[in-house]
Homo-oligomer: A and B are copies of this chain.
Amino acid sequence: MSDVINFTEKLGKFSDLWSPRVIAEMNDYQFKLVKIRGEFVWHDHKDTDEVFVVIEGSMGIEMRDRTIYLTAGEMTVIPKGVEHRPFAREECQILLIEPQGLVNTGEAGGELQAENDVWV
């Protein structure tokens, strides 16, 4: 490790939506880039917080009691156990930070459940 990782260069290497690509590991955490458009599924992560950093574009995260909106240069921490549903009207490019092995849909599953540990 200790290589230089360029977000734009990595984002140029894939185009599919809702399919996180691992770009780095720090201890037992992974940094993943993902492109989103449309609505994800409601889900939570029982055992871990999850970080969203918006690299390009704008997105929202619906929670049961409110909705937050993020644009490039902003981040948020979704606490463990909090149900959430990410969405974006136009394509949005995000950096996720979360423990190794985390399933993107939590226990909700469905067709948007992505393969894990795919690097770019």
Residue among A24, A26, A70 with max Cβ neighbours from chain B (10 Å): A26
Copies of this chain, tallied across the complex:
2
- Cβ of A34 < 8 Å from any Cβ of B? no
Number of A residues with CB within 8 Å of any CB on chain B: 35
Contact A73 B7 (CB under 8 A): yes
Q: Mark A94-120, 1 if CB is under 8 A from B, else 0.
A: 000101000000000000000000000
Instruction: Determine how close the nearest CB of chain B comes to the CB of A65; give it in whole angstroms.
Output: 10
> Using Cβ atoms and an 8 Å threshold, which residues of chain B touch A49?
1, 25-27
Q: Which residues of B contact A80 (CB under 8 A)?
A: 27
Interface majority SS (helix, strand, loop, mixed), chain A = strand
CA distance A74 to B31 in the complex (A): 12
Q: Is the CB of B4 within 8 A of A69?
A: yes
Q: Contact check: which of B2, B26, B63, B73 meets A8 at CB < 8 Å?
A: B73
Interface centre among A4, A7, A69, A79 (most CB of B within 10 A): A4
